[in-house]
Amino acid sequence: VKMDEVWTHQEYVTCIHPGWTIRSGWPAVRDSWVLIFNNTFSMKFELSDIMVQVAGDMAWVICVENLVTQQAEEPQQAKILATNLYELIGDEWLMIHHHGSPVMG
């Protein structure tokens, strides 16, 4: 899973997908992404409204994920307001938190 490369594999990582309860710890976070990718035939997204802030060894990105997914016959479109937190570990920025909320309307 490509998510293995962008997340730190620590117990303090957290992930909240739209409509889901919080997933805590790398195994639970990874399993949530595996479940999503295994149950989605195709997924394409473009980011918009991107805001980035860096403070020391922490960074956060707030953006809108414009998703087009296909699980059955008809493609589904959604806008997700996402907050991603990153920690500088060595020379790599690795994700420690993702929170996605649906944009209604």
pLDDT at 50 over 70: yes
- What span, in angstroms and rounded, lies between the C-alpha atoms of 58 and 73? 41
Q: For the chain, what is the domain count? A: 1
- 27 lies in which domain range? 3-102
Give the residue-averaged pLDDT of 2-6. 90
Give the residue-averaged pLDDT of 19-29. 97
pLDDT tens track for 35-45: 988 877 778 88
pLDDT band, very low/low/confident/very high, at 104 (cuts 50, 70, 90): confident
Question: Which of 37, 59, 88, 34 has its CA nearest to residue 26?
Answer: 34
Residue 75 pLDDT: 84
The model carries a pTM of 0.88
Using an 8 Å Cβ cutoff, are 80 and 104 in contact?
no
**Residue 32: which H helix or E strand, with range?**
helix 26-38
Give the residue-averaged pLDDT of 67-91. 90
Residue 9 pLDDT: 98
Q: Give the β-pairing of 14-16 and 92-102.
A: parallel
The CATH number of residue 22's host domain is 3.10.450.50
pLDDT band, very low/low/confident/very high, at 1 (cuts 50, 70, 90): low
